[in-house]
Amino acid sequence: MDPALGPPNAMAEKRDELTPMMRQYHDLCARYNDAIVLFQVGDFYETFCGAAERSARLLEIALTSREDSTGEYPMAGIPIDNAESYIEDLLEAGYRVAVADQVEEPGETAGVVERAVTRVITPGTLTEDELLASDDNNFVAAVARGRGIDTRPADDELALALLDVSTGDFLATSSAAEESIADEVSRFAPAEAVVGPNAPSDVLPDDCMVTPFDERVFDRERAASILSEYFGEPDALLASDAEIRACGALLAYAEYARGGEHEGEKGGDESDESDDAGKAGSSREPGETDRLEYLTHLTRYDPREYLLLDAVALRSLELFEPRAVNGRDDATLVGVLDETACALGGRTLRDWLRRPLLESHRIEARLDAVEELTGSVQTREHCHELLRDVYDLERLIGRISRERANARDLRSLRDTLAVVPEIRDQLANADCDRLRDLHENLDPLVDVRELIDDAVVSDPPIEITEGGIIAEEYDSDLDDLRGTARDGKQWIDDLEARERERTGIDSLKVGYNSVHGYYIEVTNPNLDAVPENYQRRQTLKNSERFVTPELKEREDEIVGAEERADEREYELFCEVRSDIGDEVERVQGLADALATLDALVSLATVAAQYDYCRPEILDPESERTDGGVEIDITGGRHPVVERTQESFVPNSARFDAEQRLAVITGPNMSGKSTYMRQVAQIVLLAQVGSFVPAESARLTPVERIFTRVGASDDIAGGRSTFMVEMDELATILRDADERSLVLLDEVGRGTSTADGLAIAQAITEHLHDAVGATTLFATHHHPLTELADDLPDAFTLHFEVEQTDGEVVFHHEIEPGAATGSYGVEVATAAGVPEDVVDRSRELVDANAAAETTARTEPTADGGTSELESTETAPVPDSVAAELRDLNVGHMTPVEALTELDRLQRLLEEES
């Protein structure tokens, strides 16, 4: 157990003897025993004992100690005012943080100030803007196992629930296939997850924090009951038992993380001896905390509704992360597409990219809107300008609903509402349905805006308890109190003149300081003239300060009125905030409309600026496409590469039922990988509803994109690269179908040439004959081009390079047919490899070519004498031969067979 977590031993031993404050700390640590408890003491959050030592080292803050009658405890504290940056460091170090705030004013009670955990901050449940990327979601996930829809007997379905606690986005899906859930996890990249009983955690990526949480919340009944509190009957909303469990558990976790351990529930269980001790939430009944009102929607989706992109495809198509380790941040698809003006749109655009569409009518609806906005520069630019003033309404309303918003947040909401009518006007004459819908849905929430305008001053302070927030004439009680204070101050303001006249002392002054309050100051030479009713308060070097009973009375009146006014303001503020909180769904509806508009405007901006075209989307059911995929791109460009270099050579691509599989050859650096990715990215962009970088494009939506890049530069998890490659290939061969787009980039590199070729050939045949996927296969195995000539639906493409005086010129132009040579040697020259090495390479190439010809023309049975052949026919060692003989080929999967081959081959190498 981490000594930074749980109740410190030094305290646990003598809990009952501890001072009340330290007992509070101890108990909160016991209750939130998977988190570092930040314990408010005045202006600081303190940690003690093990947590203090850990925090001091981690955060580079001073380690001090606190001594009381029961002992001395190490202590380290962080100032509350900039706690966020420290909390961020704790999270980064892998800790969860429970923030225990003072929930009553120190003067209010005789005993120790009450403290409660007001939030538990974990990587997946962040709500503070400072800790979150504004233009991306931050998800926490729950994975649960349960019965499927069709009452399968066993718990054989796996569900995934995803929640962004900061925005309220809440999604659920399920599948009987684990890989499918793993793919969905890759899409959303949750920062944290809770995992139900018997659910596999290996569907989660390594960088996802797995939080141990009370497994009872995954119980079907409990989950259903908490869900029904939010969304009514869960069976009507969700498709399976597993989904109910995952969603219910996730809600319970979100409520737990929200904290909110309020009065009447002091401290932790005295002795938590239950089985679940040591797990967060174990001492808490699910659903016992306040509801998170802003969770108003739960969207269930089927993974099959969207273009499926697994983790490998997401990476190699550079959707969100640049492929090169030190790649430029904007060298990603999202980087080139994101011209959004506000955080709302940024997140929506990312969601669209994560989940490209399949159904042509949905795609067309977006395309119509993008086309219209592309055509109208004015509308587009105006919208963009106006959207820049739009605050993050989703997080704002979340904060309002969680009672964490301050008056400035309300003003931000108001300022956003103020631009909505103008944005709406921009769409008044919209043609397409999508934009007309948006026009409809851009509700400026006039009532909310008026409420804020009436209630909150235009430039309120951050603090919500110190007044200065509520506008004049909003509340008559408040106005009265303010009137009293104002009158009192006026009386004091006039006092100076009155007293000067009364006493004849011209230098008499009325002043104020925070210790003594108001006073009348008289300089020493005038002390004789001081009247009877002056009472001496303070003696300074050159003067004396006095008060009068009247002045004191006025002062008390002012202070009393001001205090009560502050209280009244706070009360009013909370009322206003809660009234606005009641409008959460309308604010979310508006946020959604603004987000959609921003994302559409962004796509249109990119389309116009970079000369994209509207893709024609073919209906897969139509006769023309014959149920398969047709892709016809003229003058296509790679959306990312074209931005990172000066010039880019456009290339076309044509695939249909008769031309389904392309074998692409060409020297290194000629453009093969770029070409293949550009085809896939254009397809993907089209399905997002974006215009595409091409002169024209026509395509059938694909259901899955698979990409596999040769293992040479992709070493994962210590497994042999060959194994990784085979594993990934196995997935493709198993899951791809005629609605898939498959990119194979130099697969079969992880093993010897002969094997590589054999595997590449077998894969090609399989994809062609059995799978029928649209396939682009870049390869250095030239014999594959001959194979392609033999297969009816396969064809060849190649990149040529030009050599002039040993210089190599890349044209990056795709052409039909096979490449003539690999030009590896020439590329080496161009790259500056020393001349003698290049010369020797040339010799070897020639020799090998000669040997290859010999080998082909003279059958091996003749017992050829060339050096090459004699090594090839070296006898197989007995041990390997024996193993080969014993292989039970009938019981092996292709991958097992390949793996076994690989092993035997290594054995051979060792033995010879």
Q: Locate tokens 């396969």: which residue?
A: 794
Using the rule CB under 6 A, which residue among 11, 189, 641, 747 binds ligand ADP? 641
Q: Return the residues of window 6-35 that contact Mg ion according to CB under 5 A.
A: none
Q: Which of 8, 248, 268, 671 binds ligand ADP (CB under 6 A)?
A: 671
Shorter beta-carbon distance to ligand ADP: residue 435 or 684:
684
334 binds ligand ADP per the rule CB under 6 A: no
Nearer to ligand ADP, 666 or 750 (CB): 666
Footprint on residues 670-699 left by Mg ion (CB under 5 A): 672-673
Is 316 a residue that touches ligand ADP (CB under 6 A)?
A: no
Q: Which residues contact 764 (CB under 8 A, 6 or more apart)?
A: 661, 663, 775, 777, 784, 787, 788, 791, 794
- The SS3 of residue 150 is coil
648 binds, among ligand ADP, Mg ion, none (CB under 5 to 8 A by kind): ligand ADP
**Least CB distance to Mg ion at residue 736 (A):** 21
C-beta of residue 191 within 8 angstroms of C-beta of residue 209: yes
Q: Which is nearer to ligand ADP, 671 or 772 (CB)?
A: 671
Is 668 assigned to a binding site?
yes
Backbone phi and psi for residue 94, each to the nearest 5 degrees, phi listed first:
95, 10
| Residue 811 beta carbon to ligand ADP: minimum distance, rounded to whole angstroms | 9
Q: Apex CA 892: angle with CA 891 and CA 895, to 5°?
A: 165
Residue whose CB is nearest to Mg ion in the complex, by number: 673
Q: Quick one: which of 668, 696, 731, 822 contacts ligand ADP (CB under 6 A)?
A: 668
Give the helix ranges, DSSP H, for 695-737: 721-735
Dihedral sign from CA coordinates of 20, 22, 25, 29: negative
CB of 726 to Mg ion, least distance (A): 20
Decide if 346 contacts 338 (C-beta within 8 A).
Answer: yes
Of 166-174, 403-411, 643-651, 817-825, the window that binds ligand ADP (rule: CB under 6 A) is 643-651
Binds 641: which of Mg ion, ligand ADP, none (CB < 5-8 Å by kind): ligand ADP
Q: Which is nearer to ligand ADP, 651 or 751 (CB)?
A: 651
User: Residue 675 phi/psi, 5° resolution?
Assistant: -60, -45
718 assigned binding-site residue: no
Instruction: Please tell me whether residue 196 binds ligand ADP under the rule CB under 6 A.
Output: no
**Please, what is the minimum distance in Å from the beta carbon of residue 635 to Mg ion?**
21
Cβ-contact 680, 688 below 8 angstroms: no
CB nearer to ligand ADP: give 218 or 799.
799
- What, of Mg ion, ligand ADP, none, does residue 668 touch, CB below 5 to 8 Å by kind? ligand ADP
Strands annotated E in 109-231: 115-121, 140-146, 157-163, 170-175, 192-195, 209-211
Q: Which of 412, 673, 687, 707 binds ligand ADP (CB under 6 A)?
A: 673
Q: Helix, strand, or coil here: 698?
A: strand
Residue 577 touches which of ligand ADP, Mg ion, none (Cβ within 5-8 Å per kind): none
**Residue 645 interacting partner from Mg ion, ligand ADP, none (CB closer than 5 to 8 Å by kind):** ligand ADP
Binding part of the chain for ligand ADP, among 35-43, 489-497, 666-674, 694-702 by CB under 6 A, reads 666-674
Selected range binding ligand ADP among 327-335, 405-413, 561-569, 669-677, rule: CB under 6 A: 669-677
> How far apart (Å, rounded) are the C-alpha atoms in residues 712 and 722?
9
- Contact status: 138 vs Mg ion (CB under 5 A): no
Gap between the Cα atoms of 255 and 282, Å rounded: 13
- One symbol per residue from 421 to 440: x for binding Mg ion (CB under 5 A), - otherwise; what is it? --------------------
Among 245, 672, 739, 780, binds ligand ADP (CB under 6 A): 672
Nearer to Mg ion, 100 or 664 (CB): 664
- Cα separation of 439 and 428, whole Å? 7
Nearer to ligand ADP, 701 or 710 (CB): 710
211 close to 122: Cβ distance less than 8 angstroms: yes
Whether residue 22 is annotated as binding a ligand: the answer is: no
Please name the residue that has the structure tokens 């983790």: 311
Q: Does 666 bind ligand ADP (CB under 6 A)?
A: yes
Consecutive H or E run containing 61? none
Decide if residue 240 touches Mg ion (CB under 5 A). Answer: no
672 labelled ligand-binding: yes
As separate numbers, helices (DSSP H) first and strands (DSSP E) second, the chain gives 30, 27
Question: Rounded distance, CA 323 to CA 316, Å?
Answer: 7
670 assigned to a ligand binding site: yes
User: Is 676 exposed, middle or buried, given 0-12, 13-18 or 19+ CB atoms closer than 10 A?
Assistant: buried
Sign of dihedral through CA atoms 684, 687, 688, 692?
positive
Count CB atoms within 10 A of the CB of residue 794: 23
Task: Tokens for 95, please give them.
Answer: 């800790």
Piece of 141-149, 200-208, 551-559, 662-670 that binds ligand ADP (CB under 6 A): 662-670
Binding of ligand ADP by 648 (CB under 6 A): yes
Contact between 157 and 147 (Cβ < 8 Å): yes
Q: Is 671 annotated as a binding residue?
A: yes
Q: Which helix (H) or strand (E) holds 574?
A: helix 549-581
User: Going by C-beta distance under 8 Å and a sequence separation of 6 or more, which residues neighbour residue 747?
Assistant: 708, 709, 710, 711, 725, 729, 759, 760, 763, 777, 779
Query: In this complex, which beta carbon is closest to ligand ADP, that of residue 315 or of residue 812?
Result: 812
Handedness of CA 272, 42, 55, 121 (dihedral sign): positive
The partner in contact with residue 674, picked from ligand ADP, Mg ion, none with C-beta cut-offs of 5 to 8 angstroms by kind, is: ligand ADP
Min dist. Cβ of residue 810 to Mg ion (A): 13
Q: Which residues in 783-812 contact ligand ADP (CB under 6 A)?
A: 812
Number of residues that bind ligand ADP (CB under 6 A): 14
Task: Give the DSSP per-residue string, 608-659.
Answer: HHTT-BPPEEPPTTSTTTTTS--EEEEEE--TTHHHHSS----EEEEEBTTB
Query: Min. distance of Cβ 641 from ligand ADP in angstroms?
Result: 6
Binding mask of the shown chain, residues 645 to 674, with x at each position contacting Mg ion by CB under 5 A: ---------------------------xx-
Q: Is residue 779 close enough to count as binding ligand ADP by CB under 6 A?
A: no
Contact 655, 794 (CB under 8 A): no
Binding of residue 670 to ligand ADP (CB under 6 A) = yes
Which DSSP symbol is given to 371? H
Instruction: Tell me which residues in 806-865 interact with ligand ADP (CB under 6 A).
Output: 812
Q: How far is the CB of 139 from ligand ADP (least distance, A)?
A: 33
Task: Tell me the window of 264-272, 506-514, 570-578, 647-655 that interacts with ligand ADP (CB under 6 A).
Answer: 647-655
Segment near ligand ADP (CB under 6 A), from 15-23, 80-88, 514-522, 664-672? 664-672
Query: Rounded distance, CA 30 to CA 38, Å?
Result: 13
Give CA–CA dist 69/23, Å, rounded. 13
588 binds, among Mg ion, ligand ADP, none (CB under 5 to 8 A by kind): none
For ligand ADP, the closer of residues 282 and 651 by Cβ is: 651
Nearest distance in Å: CB 436, ligand ADP = 40
Instruction: For residue 443, report the phi and psi dihedrals to the nearest 5 degrees.
Output: -80, 115
Q: Which of 69, 539, 542, 645 binds ligand ADP (CB under 6 A)?
A: 645
- Rounded CA separation 335/324 (Å): 14
Structure tokens that stand for 489 in this block: 């101050």
Least distance between Mg ion and beta carbon 670 (Å): 9
Binding residues for ATP: 666-673
Binding residues: 666-673
Judged by the rule CB under 6 A, the positions of this chain that interact with ligand ADP are 641, 645, 648-649, 651, 666, 668-674, 812
Judged by the rule CB under 5 A, the positions of this chain that interact with Mg ion are 672-673
